[in-house]
Amino acid sequence: MKVARHRRRLDAAGATALAVVHDEPDRVRAMLLDGTGWPYPVALDPGRGSYRAWGLRRAVWAGIWLDPGVWRQYAQLLRTGHRIRGAGQDVRQLGGDFVVAPDGRIAYARPQRRDDRPPAAALVKIVEETVSGAT
């Protein structure tokens, strides 16, 4: 959701973000979208075909819930006033971050390992560099 904070930069680059989620529409609306102001399209993939196509794996249970780094991150979010929205249908399904260039090539790909997403600003910078390099 932090990508939405960079909407002006993405708009200026002529780019958009797309969230792909595997939960049911009502759950996505209630747990992910309500009150966030997410301005981009959301694609629902309950069968997770896109997850498999992009090589996104499922985490080992202990790798998530026994990892002190995950608990530190949740504690930090709570300390800074963030609302924990709850877990999706499958907390072990890992996501990823990808930048697709205007010509269709994959300019950046990073499958997730636990709760370790790159900073949104770094992704937006890659988008800007990809778009400027394509012109």
Residue range 3-34, pLDDT digits in tens: 888 899 999 998 988 989 888 888 888 877 77
Contact 110, 97 (CB under 8 A): yes
More confident residue, 5 or 52: 52
Confidence at residue 48, expressed as pLDDT on a 0 to 100 scale: 92
Residue range 108-133, pLDDT digits in tens: 998 887 667 788 899 999 999 998 87
Confidence at residue 135, expressed as pLDDT on a 0 to 100 scale: 55
Query: How many whole angstroms separate alpha carbon 13 and alpha carbon 4?
Result: 14
Confidence at residue 64, expressed as pLDDT on a 0 to 100 scale: 72
CA atoms within 13 A on the CB side of 25: 2
- Helix and strand numbers (H, E) in the chain are 6, 4
Write the CB contacts of 5 (distance below 8 Å, at least 6 apart in sequence). Answer: 120
Structure tokens at 109: 């790909």
Helices (H), the chain: 7-12, 25-28, 49-53, 61-65, 68-79, 120-134
Query: How many whole angstroms separate alpha carbon 78 and alpha carbon 97?
Result: 24
